[in-house]
């Protein structure tokens, strides 16, 4: 998704802005731009394609200044083009960068056109630039900070939608305006300098101290101070926001020995799982529910039902958790994609816990679903998230943090398996009262063994790499699984389509004969996830149906299940693991398969076409 960087400093900010944009590249974008104020005039450069293209342009234009804003754009309104790239300007005075969508842009555009404003782009963002210009003219005072912030507030009050934005005005070369309404924005603290960014990762080269703006916050930032206000306060009263130190280190830009971030993140999973489960067990193996927040134990004891809401990969994590919660904790569970849930009439059974799952904690649909749920009488809300200071975490009653570290690859890997690990832990917490002590101990031991099992599956990479060549000229693939491994198959199919662009569909294996079997012929690879469990014999019958039609089976199986290879069947054997953690372990080879197929296809693994990390628009 789009990214914002801004800086105000005694030094030239152009290199800071460029480095910030490079650090945001992983999120996916189609164009980039920078504007700085130099000798009271705005200088701007924009380019479609990669930040490297913009960098080349900047070198020849020698753009420099001590205040500036920059942007990577992932188009929502208007095609990717130089004219539509940000910063958008109003006349020669005002420059704006914006993430999100201004929903009432058409009406505002008509009104501004009636006032004589001429539009140079198709974006909703340009409306903000002209609207701010318009309000600035109307605020009839000296051109001081007061005038600037008043015009800003009036502009924000006229906007509908979810956005983060930053504005420069040439009459105020010492002030950076910024606001957060539904899309993340942080202020970075420096020494006699300040920065803004839509993600702290963009600024880690210059600071590790951040103010996470809260919903409705807007601010005027100078070198020495920041004045933060809130749209929810009726007057212009300053509000206090804490400065938080970023604790994860600056690993974002570092792929280490790996060719891609995705591969690095796949291999980080043993560490990520260990860190995500750390602090969740007491010395005697008790489950430390207090890590979820104050009074969590008492609330969780009252849970009679769970509603999980999430998107994409996180949705698949929720689907696996449903099997766990019902089987182990005896608690009914529903799982729904956020984009549907948020617009539906819902009936909320008594004592239902509302759980959201999101890697970034800024996923627009999931956040909106949480806000919607808060009006519906749920028992409490719990966010499962990889980013501690994110909006989802801050707005939920309780939080269950994965500690996977920043995930840069657009295709989620370590975020998924760590979400699953903490969901299994949560199941044990919710089911505590009804689970026999022996089963609880078994489950805890299984969870603790996870990092080692995942490490041994990673050692299968060469065998999986050899399989990848087979997919080079395939256009379609089926993924099959049963029980908890049906959502694992869904996630495997999603990974393959995201990064290799091969059409992949997942089915519960028992559904095959109800339709998809018609697709199976000698050209169709069928990938199955087949651990040893009580559904294995059923699954084997489904695989016979595929073989009988000449389909090519690639099976991820338990080494103890003695599957046999033949011309149409290739088996990759995984170690025998406890049934409950098997979905986590069996997800890993599917990630490796998608990765190596994408390599064979020559696609951009970390930044697949049309996709973006942290989906902050609806």
CA angle 608, 613, 616 (to 5 degrees): 135
- Supply the minimum distance, in Å, between the C-beta of residue 90 and ligand HGA: 15
Q: Rule CB under 6 A: say whether 99 interacts with ligand HGA.
A: yes
Q: Rule CB under 6 A: say whether 342 interacts with ligand HGA.
A: no
Select which of 22, 50, 226, 613 is catalytic. 613
Member of 15, 53, 64, 75 binding ligand HGA (CB under 6 A): 75
Please tell me the distance from the alpha carbon of residue 124 to that of residue 159, in angstroms, as a whole number. Answer: 11
Which is it for the CA torsion 360, 365, 367, 373, positive or negative? negative
Compute the residue count for the chain. 618
Q: Rule CB under 6 A: say whether 316 interacts with ligand HGA.
A: no
Nearer to ligand HGA, 75 or 517 (CB): 75
- Supply the minimum distance, in Å, between the C-beta of residue 72 and ligand HGA: 9
Nearer to ligand HGA, 179 or 321 (CB): 179
Contacts of 427 (CB under 8 A, 6+ apart): 321, 324, 325, 328, 329
- Supply the minimum distance, in Å, between the C-beta of residue 21 and ligand HGA: 14
From 75-83, 150-158, 319-327, 339-347, span contacting ligand HGA (CB under 6 A): 75-83
- Supply the minimum distance, in Å, between the C-beta of residue 182 and ligand HGA: 11
CA angle 183, 65, 124 (to 5 degrees): 35
- Other CB atoms within a 10 A radius of the CB of residue 345 amount to 5
Nearer to ligand HGA, 194 or 613 (CB): 613
Strands 161-169 and 94-102 turn out to be antiparallel
Contact between 513 and 530 under an 8 Å Cβ cutoff? The reply is: no
239-298 residues in contact with ligand HGA (CB under 6 A) are: none
Q: Rule CB under 6 A: say whether 119 interacts with ligand HGA.
A: no
Please tell me the distance from the alpha carbon of residue 510 to that of residue 532, in angstroms, as a whole number. Answer: 17
Tokens of 114: 């009636």
Please tell me the distance from the alpha carbon of residue 52 to that of residue 47, in angstroms, as a whole number. Answer: 9
Q: Rule CB under 6 A: say whether 100 interacts with ligand HGA.
A: yes
Q: Rule CB under 6 A: say whether 46 interacts with ligand HGA.
A: no
Contact between 404 and 277 under an 8 Å Cβ cutoff? The reply is: no
Member of 43, 66, 123, 166 binding ligand HGA (CB under 6 A): 123
Backbone φ and ψ of 577, nearest 5°: -130, 160
Select which of 2, 178, 333, 558 is catalytic. 2
Nearer to ligand HGA, 124 or 217 (CB): 124
Q: Rule CB under 6 A: say whether 539 interacts with ligand HGA.
A: no
Contact between 16 and 26 under an 8 Å Cβ cutoff? The reply is: no
Contact between 326 and 333 under an 8 Å Cβ cutoff? The reply is: yes
From 96-104, 284-292, 521-529, 549-557, span contacting ligand HGA (CB under 6 A): 96-104
Q: Rule CB under 6 A: say whether 101 interacts with ligand HGA.
A: yes
- Supply the minimum distance, in Å, between the C-beta of residue 556 and ligand HGA: 35
- Supply the minimum distance, in Å, between the C-beta of residue 110 and ligand HGA: 18
Contact between 128 and 121 under an 8 Å Cβ cutoff? The reply is: no
Beta bridge partners of 310: 337, 357
Nearer to ligand HGA, 36 or 364 (CB): 364
From 120-128, 212-220, 317-325, 370-378, span contacting ligand HGA (CB under 6 A): 120-128
From 42-50, 95-103, 321-329, 373-381, span contacting ligand HGA (CB under 6 A): 95-103
Please tell me the distance from the alpha carbon of residue 428 to that of residue 288, in angstroms, as a whole number. Answer: 11
Q: Rule CB under 6 A: say whether 2 interacts with ligand HGA.
A: yes
Active site residue 180: no
From 76-84, 169-177, 271-279, 363-371, span contacting ligand HGA (CB under 6 A): 76-84
Active site residue 513: no
Q: Rule CB under 6 A: say whether 77 interacts with ligand HGA.
A: yes
Q: Rule CB under 6 A: say whether 198 interacts with ligand HGA.
A: no
Q: Tokens 């009580």 correspond to what residue? A: 534
Please tell me the distance from the alpha carbon of residue 355 to that of residue 340, in angstroms, as a whole number. Answer: 15
Q: Tokens 């693991």 correspond to what residue? A: 577
- Supply the minimum distance, in Å, between the C-beta of residue 150 and ligand HGA: 25
589-618 residues in contact with ligand HGA (CB under 6 A) are: 616-617
Member of 12, 64, 76, 222 binding ligand HGA (CB under 6 A): 76
- Supply the minimum distance, in Å, between the C-beta of residue 114 and ligand HGA: 22
* CA terminus-to-terminus distance, the chain: 11
Beta bridge partners of 571: 555
Q: Rule CB under 6 A: say whether 124 interacts with ligand HGA.
A: yes
Encode burial over 453-492: b for 16+ CB neighbours within 10 A, e otherwise.
bbeebbebbeebbebbeebeebeebbbbbbbbbbbbbbbb
Q: Rule CB under 6 A: say whether 98 interacts with ligand HGA.
A: yes
- Supply the minimum distance, in Å, between the C-beta of residue 393 and ligand HGA: 21
Nearer to ligand HGA, 132 or 507 (CB): 132
Contact between 198 and 166 under an 8 Å Cβ cutoff? The reply is: no
Number of chain residues interacting with ligand HGA (CB under 6 A): 17
Tokens of 534: 């009580």
From 73-81, 304-312, 404-412, 481-489, span contacting ligand HGA (CB under 6 A): 73-81
Please tell me the distance from the alpha carbon of residue 468 to that of residue 590, in angstroms, as a whole number. Answer: 11
Q: What is the DSSP string of 110-152?
A: HHHHHTT----SS-SHHHHHHHHHHHHHHS-S-SSHHHHHHHH
- Supply the minimum distance, in Å, between the C-beta of residue 71 and ligand HGA: 9
Nearer to ligand HGA, 130 or 482 (CB): 130
Active-site residues, by number, are 2, 613
Return residues touching ligand HGA (CB under 6 A): 1-2, 73-78, 98-101, 123-125, 616-617
């Amino acid at each position: 998704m789009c990214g914002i960087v801004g800086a105000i400093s005694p030094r030239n900010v152009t290199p800071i802005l460029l480095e910030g944009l490079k650090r945001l590249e992983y999120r996916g974008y189609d164009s980039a731009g920078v504007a700085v104020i130099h000798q009271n005039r705005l200088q701007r450069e924009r380019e479609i394609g990669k930040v490297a293209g913009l960098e080349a342009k900047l070198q020849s234009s020698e753009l420099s200044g001590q205040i500036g804003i920059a942007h990577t754009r992932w188009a929502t309104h208007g095609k990717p083009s130089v004219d539509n790239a940000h910063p958008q300007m109003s006349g020669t005075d005002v420059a704006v960068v914006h993430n999100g969508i201004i929903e009432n842009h058409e009406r505002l555009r008509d009104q501004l056109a009636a006032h004589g404003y001429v539009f140079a782009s198709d974006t909703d963002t340009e409306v903000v630039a002209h609207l701010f210009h318009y309000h600035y003219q109307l605020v009839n005072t000296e051109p001081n900070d007061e005038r600037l912030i008043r015009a800003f507030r009036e502009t924000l009050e006229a906007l509908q939608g979810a956005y983060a934005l930053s504005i420069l005005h040439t009459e105020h070369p010492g002030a950076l305006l910024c606001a957060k309404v539904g899309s993340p924005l942080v202020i970075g603290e420096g020494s006699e300098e300040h920065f803004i960014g839509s993600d702290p990762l963009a600024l880690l080269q210059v600071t590790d101290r951040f103010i996470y703006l809260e919903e409705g916050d807007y601010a005027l930032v100078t070198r020495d101070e920041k004045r933060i206000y809130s749209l929810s306060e009726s007057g212009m009263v300053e509000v206090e926001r804490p400065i938080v130190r970023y604790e994860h280190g600056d690993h974002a830009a570092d792929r280490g020995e790996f060719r891609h971030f995705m591969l690095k993140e796949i291999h980080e999973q043993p560490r990520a799982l260990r860190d995500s489960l750390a602090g969740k067990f007491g010395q005697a193996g008790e489950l430390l529910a207090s890590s979820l927040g104050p009074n969590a134990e008492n609330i969780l004891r009252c849970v009679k039902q769970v509603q999980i809401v999430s998107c994409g990969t996180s949705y698949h994590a929720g689907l696996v958790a449903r099997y766990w919660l019902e089987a182990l904790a005896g608690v009914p569970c529903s799982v729904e994609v956020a984009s549907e849930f948020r617009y539906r009439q819902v009936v909320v059974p008594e004592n239902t816990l509302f759980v959201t799952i999101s890697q970034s904690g800024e996923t627009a649909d999931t956040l909106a679903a949480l806000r919607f749920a808060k009006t519906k009488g749920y028992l409490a809300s719990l966010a499962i998230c990889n980013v501690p200071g994110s909006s989802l975490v801050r707005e939920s009653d309780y939080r269950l943090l994965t500690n996977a570290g920043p995930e840069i690859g657009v295709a989620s890997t370590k975020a998924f398996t760590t979400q699953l690990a903490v969901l299994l832990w949560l199941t044990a917490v919710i089911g505590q009262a009804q689970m026999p002590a022996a089963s609880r101990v078994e489950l805890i031991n299984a969870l603790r063994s996870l990092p080692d099992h995942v490490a041994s599956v990673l050692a299968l990479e060469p065998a999986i790499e050899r399989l990848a060549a087979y997919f080079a000229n395939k256009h379609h693939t089926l993924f099959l699984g049963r029980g908890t491994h049906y959502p694992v198959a869904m996630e495997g199919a999603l990974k393959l389509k995201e990064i290799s662009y091969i059409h992949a569909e997942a089915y519960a294996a028992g559904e095959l004969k109800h339709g998809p079997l018609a697709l199976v012929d000698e050209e169709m690879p069928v990938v199955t996830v087949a651990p040893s469990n009580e559904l294995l014999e059923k699954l084997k019958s489904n695989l016979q149906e595929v073989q009988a039609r000449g389909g090519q089976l690639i099976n991820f199986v338990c080494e103890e299940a003695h599957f046999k290879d033949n011309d149409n069947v290739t088996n990759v054997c995984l170690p025998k693991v406890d049934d409950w953690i098997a979905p986590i372990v069996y997800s890993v080879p599917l990630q490796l398969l998608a990765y190596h197929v994408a390599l064979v296809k020559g696609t951009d693994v970390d930044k697949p076409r049309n996709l973006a990390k942290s989906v902050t628009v609806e």
